[in-house]
Amino acid sequence: MSFVANTDAQCEEMLAACGVASIDELFADIPAALRPQSFRLPPGRSEHEVLEYFKSLAARNFSHLTVFLGGGFYDHFIPSAVDSLASRGEFFTAYTPYQPELSQGTLQAIYEYQTQICRLTGMAAANASIYDGGTSIYEACQMALHATKRSRIVVDGGVNPVYRKMLYSYTANLDIDFTEIPVTHGQSDRAHIAAALDDDVAGVILQNPNFFGVIDNHADIVAQCHARGILVIQSVYPVAMAMLKPPGEIGVDIAVGEGQSLGGPLAFGGPYLGFMATSKKLVRKMPGRIAGRTLDREGREAFVLTLQAREQHIRREKATSNICTNQALCALRAHMYLSLVGKEGLREVAQLCHAKAQYAKERFKVIPGVSVMESSPTFNEFTVRLPADAGVIAGRLVERGIAPGLPLGRYYPGMQNYLLVAVTEKRTKAEIGNFAEVLEEVLAGYWELPTAD
């Protein structure tokens, strides 16, 4: 192994400082196959030269894809003002605004964000600081268990499989029983859900639209559950709520979801934003921060943290949650986004998503070998069945500059030929048409691709 230092003397001096006699001895604990192959570095360069060098390397990567991916995380347009305002230095701290006299701006922003979530979901109260959509489902389960003193949760198979995986990971060492309802390509399986309800069930988890993009009115399931003292948790897509009946309107007890679509970029998995809203009777069971509006001693409007039930404030075993990191910056982005687009703007975004998805369906229907699953109405996401393995076909499309959707075989056994496609307001008619044309070209030789069993 070769080693280049400024001088041999400096090399020996550095090794002596480490207490070893040679480079080989320095790396003796590392398997040979994992050791550095060389320390021969190029001559030093200026900062500008280094930046230009790495820019040239980055330019060699294929970086532009037309995105039709979904599955809970979506490529929505973000107004420039969101990035501009959220990047101000005073918003960067992630810590909790414990001192209201110093944090009125932050507390007011949280309060207004909570108000927007309540209006979007039709619920009585909302919080801030849930980590993401999957974590919010886990926290809602804990609320249901604490409120009912029961031990079992029923999970609809149409709930996002990523969220379900998170839920089971969080609860692996807890004494909670789960019953998972078999998945369908359509709406929730009423018969299976009804058969799973008994006096041990604390809550039922539903999703609208479900993972396959299917729209459902769960009012009948909510009524069945409430008749047996069971709480209903519904995970919702916030943009879709601008068109669909909100959970509060059908009697849902806890509404949760992923807030990334409200001004959050697709950023390699986060940071994202879980939102939560609930009925008035459960507000004291809700974790995280809740900002309230009140009056100070001089009668002026003031904002404070209220109904705090975290482990830092009361005995650990009495706490509702261990949420410690304040997600206020992500909540602030959602607040800014909703404020900028407004009620009518959000409805327009939702209508565009739905209309463009319907157009995509029509384009895919005429492609030989492609079946669009249409047993139930959908929002901006839908499932197509392909004549070959969806993962293989997706790979071919990525090579052509299109991220075509989410192959479902990795989540659902037996669905290797199914692809989940999402269409947002950003996708143009030309992009959808190009997707359909390229897909047809790729499928023209589908007999050469491996098919699912």
- The predicted-structure confidence for 439-449, as pLDDT tens digits, reads as follows 999 999 765 54
Compute the average pLDDT of residues 326-336: 89
Portion of the chain with pLDDT greater than 90, in percent? 71
Per DSSP, the three-state class of 370 is coil
Task: Say if residue 172's pLDDT is above 50.
Answer: yes
Q: What is the pLDDT of residues 53-110, one digit of tens each?
A: 999 988 887 668 899 999 999 999 999 999 999 988 888 765 677 788 888 988 999 9
Task: Say if residue 6's pLDDT is above 80.
Answer: no
- Residue 218 in contact with residue 250, Cβ under 8 Å? yes
Compute CA distances 216 → 79, 102, 233, whole Å. Answer: 30, 45, 14
> 35 vs 165, which has greater pLDDT?
165
Spell out where 268-417 has E strands.
Answer: 274-278, 291-295, 301-305, 371-372, 381-385, 402-403, 406-407
Measured distance CA(445)–CA(290) in Å, rounded: 56
Q: What is the pLDDT of residues 178-223, one digit of tens each?
A: 999 998 878 999 999 999 999 999 999 999 999 999 999 999 999 9
pLDDT reported for residue 99: 81
Measured distance CA(175)–CA(180) in Å, rounded: 16
Compute CA distances 189 → 159, 180, 182, whole Å. Answer: 12, 11, 8
pLDDT reported for residue 164: 97
> 357 vs 41, which has greater pLDDT?
357
Helix (H) / strand (E) element for 121: namely helix 104-121
The DSSP-derived string for 165-183 is: HHHHHHTTTS--EEEEEPP
Portion of the chain with pLDDT greater than 70, in percent? 92
What residue type is assigned to position 320 of the chain? T
- Of 304, 272, 270, 273, give the one whose Cα is nearest residue 290: 304
Q: With cut-offs at 50, 70 and 90, classify the pLDDT of residue 5.
A: very low
Spell out where 15-65 has E strands.
Answer: none
Measured distance CA(238)–CA(244) in Å, rounded: 10
Q: With cut-offs at 50, 70 and 90, classify the pLDDT of residue 267.
A: confident
> 312 vs 419, which has greater pLDDT?
419
pTM of the model: 0.85
3-state percent breakdown (helix, strand, coil) of the chain, nearest 5 = 40, 15, 45
Measured distance CA(102)–CA(453) in Å, rounded: 63
Which stretch of 140-149, 319-328, 369-378 has the lowest confidence by average pLDDT?
A: 319-328
Average per-residue pLDDT in the chain?
Answer: 90
Structural domains for the chain: 1-41 (no CATH), 66-74+343-448 (3.90.1150.10), 80-337 (3.40.640.10)
Q: With cut-offs at 50, 70 and 90, classify the pLDDT of residue 373.
A: very high
CB contact burial 21-47 (16+ within 10 A = b; e otherwise): eebeebeeeeeeeeeeeeeeeeeeeee
Task: Say if residue 122's pLDDT is above 70.
Answer: yes
Q: With cut-offs at 50, 70 and 90, classify the pLDDT of residue 40.
A: confident
